[in-house]
């Protein structure tokens, strides 16, 4: 039995999934063994336009690269001689019990990967008991899944009437929280999409199959011509909280000053996020922004984080710096592009398994034992 298969047995990951079909007895396990390899498989299967939309950042992609590079100057300081015979990843986020502190982030353009992709990801979340934050307007894809806890993501609505209507619709359909993406006032200037003559109206219909030279209908218009909710202000929290009994979580906070305002204005929580490096280029990496945001909140509201997460050790570092949980965006999409629903499930299982092993090797038997002493910044 090789080490790779032994690891999967140890972490309880071996299943009947076609990704783990074995050949030559137990000597080999087929399929990607980490998120990076899932991306390689997905890249080969996806149309270039779809791959670039998912993988790309904005302009020079400084922030996209920074999100990954920043993990390299945060190091773990493990403790030894502690009992890690069992390791418990379970947590509770806004009253929802989860088997691991890993959520699926809202991502646009899923249908560029597969038709009805929101439903496919929802089924994968149901199978793995993962909380799913849907993309804007995608709540119909998940409301019929009784065993899926889901949040709805929005860039906001321009008027109080529209905001109240949206919030009530989400509550009526069974959403457990509303996340407000606050860093998406306008469509950003993404060079890869512009080079591919990407039409944003094309996202709901999918793209040609890989190898078919068929560009979308129109080139992308100037970014400033595509506003989302440029008049979004702190009053939005009052509009929504006054209409429904749901947590209101602000996604896209990087500045400590905004974290303080979020607390004082009644936000239920924060997601430290730079939109995966897809909005304003040159902004701080999320793992670097996290400590100051945590400090600014004073522990009064939960703080989550996304951005550049590809390994269980990335998640452990975020937890060590104070994050309650993390959201993963691109990683599940690489699973989706590589193998559909089984791919999404396997990516989520891999991340949880890597986190579990990393916690054990760091001497942490549960999430409560993870603290700031575990992580040190070098350089």
CATH for 299? 3.20.20.70
| Choice between 203 and 48, residue whose per-residue pLDDT is larger | 48
Could you tell me if 161 and 14 lie in one domain? Answer: no
**153 backbone dihedrals φ, ψ, rounded to 5°:** -105, 140
Lowest-confidence pick of 58-62, 80-84, 206-210: 206-210
- Kindly state whether residues 304 and 155 are assigned to the same domain: yes
| Tokens linked to 16 | 């009947």
pLDDT of residue 201: 60
Q: How far apart are CA 13 and CA 347, in angstroms?
A: 11
My answer on whether 205 and 289 are in the same domain is: yes
Q: Is the pLDDT at 141 greater than 80, yes or no?
A: no
Q: Are residues 23 and 143 in the same domain?
A: no
The residue-averaged pLDDT of 236-242 equals: 97
What pLDDT does residue 244 have?
A: 97
Count of the separate structural domains present in the chain: 2
Based on the domain organization, do 11 and 59 belong to the same domain?
A: no
Contact 77, 374 (CB under 8 A): yes
Check whether 342 has a pLDDT greater than 70. Answer: yes
Phi, psi for residue 215 in degrees, rounded to 5: -70, 160
Q: Residue 8's domain spans which residues? A: 1-31
Distance CA 308, CA 314 (A): 8
Task: Tell me if residue 75 falls in helix, strand or coil.
Answer: strand
pLDDT of 208 above 90? no
Residue 11 has pLDDT above 80, yes or no: no
Task: Let me know whether 10 and 127 are in one domain.
Answer: no
Enumerate the active-site residues.
275
305 and 162 co-located in one domain: yes
Percent composition of the chain: helix, strand, coil (DSSP 3-state, to 5): 45, 15, 45
| Mean pLDDT (whole number) for 232-255 | 98
CA–CA distance, 184 with 190 (Å, rounded to integer): 13
pLDDT computed for residue 203 by the predictor: 57
pLDDT range class, residue 51, cuts 50, 70, 90: very high
For residues 231 and 308, state if they share a domain. yes
Q: 17 and 89: one domain?
A: no
Q: Grade residue 360 by pLDDT with cuts at 50, 70 and 90.
A: very high
The angle formed by the CA atoms of residues 141, 147 and 150, to the nearest 5 degrees, is 55
Residues 110 and 36 in one domain: yes
- The pTM assigned to this predicted structure is 0.89
Question: Is residue 39 located within the same domain as residue 6?
Answer: no
Burial of 167 (0-12, 13-18, 19+ CB in 10 A): buried
Of 136 and 49, which is predicted with more confidence? 49
Q: Tell me if 312 sits within 8 A of 355, measured CB to CB.
A: yes
Residues 45 and 6 in one domain: no
């Amino acid at each position: 039995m090789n080490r790779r298969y032994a690891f999967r047995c140890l972490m309880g990951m071996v299943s009947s999934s076609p990704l783990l079909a074995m050949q030559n007895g137990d000597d080999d396990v087929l399929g990607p063994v980490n998120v990076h390899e899932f991306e390689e498989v997905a890249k080969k299967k996806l149309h270039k336009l779809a791959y670039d939309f998912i993988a790309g950042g904005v302009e020079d992609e400084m922030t996209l690269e920074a999100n990954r590079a920043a993990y390299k100057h945060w190091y773990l300081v493990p403790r030894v001689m502690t009992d890690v015979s069992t390791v418990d990843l379970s947590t509770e986020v806004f009253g929802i019990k989860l088997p691991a502190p890993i959520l699926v982030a809202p991502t646009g353009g899923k249908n560029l990967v597969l038709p009805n992709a929101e439903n496919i990801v929802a089924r994968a979340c149901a199978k793995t008991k993962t909380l799913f934050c849907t993309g804007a307007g995608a709540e119909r894809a998940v409301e019929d899944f009784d065993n899926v806890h889901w949040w709805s993501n929005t860039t906001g609505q321009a008027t109080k009437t529209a905001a109240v209507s949206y919030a009530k619709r989400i509550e009526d359909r069974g959403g457990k929280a509303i996340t407000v993406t606050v860093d998406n006032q306008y469509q950003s200037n993404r060079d890869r999409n512009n080079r591919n003559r990407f039409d944003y109206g094309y996202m709901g219909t999918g793209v040609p199959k890989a190898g078919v030279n068929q560009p979308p209908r129109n080139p992308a218009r100037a970014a400033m011509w595509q506003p989302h909710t440029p008049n979004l202000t702190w009053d939005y929290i009052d509009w929504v909280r006054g209409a429904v009994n749901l947590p209101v979580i602000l996604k896209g906070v990087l500045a400590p000053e905004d974290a303080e305002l979020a607390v004082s204005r009644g936000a239920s929580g924060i997601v430290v996020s730079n939109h995966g490096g897809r909005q304003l280029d040159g902004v701080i990496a999320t793992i670097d922004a996290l400590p100051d945001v945590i400090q600014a909140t004073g522990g009064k509201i939960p703080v989550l984080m996304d951005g550049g997460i590809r390994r269980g050790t990335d998640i452990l570092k975020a937890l060590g710096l104070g994050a309650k949980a993390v959201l993963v965006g691109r990683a599940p999409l690489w699973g989706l592009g590589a193998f559909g629903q089984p791919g999404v499930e396997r990516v989520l299982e891999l991340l949880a398994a890597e986190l579990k092993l990393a916690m054990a090797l760091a001497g942490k038997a549960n999430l409560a034992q993870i603290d700031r002493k575990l992580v040190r910044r070098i350089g």
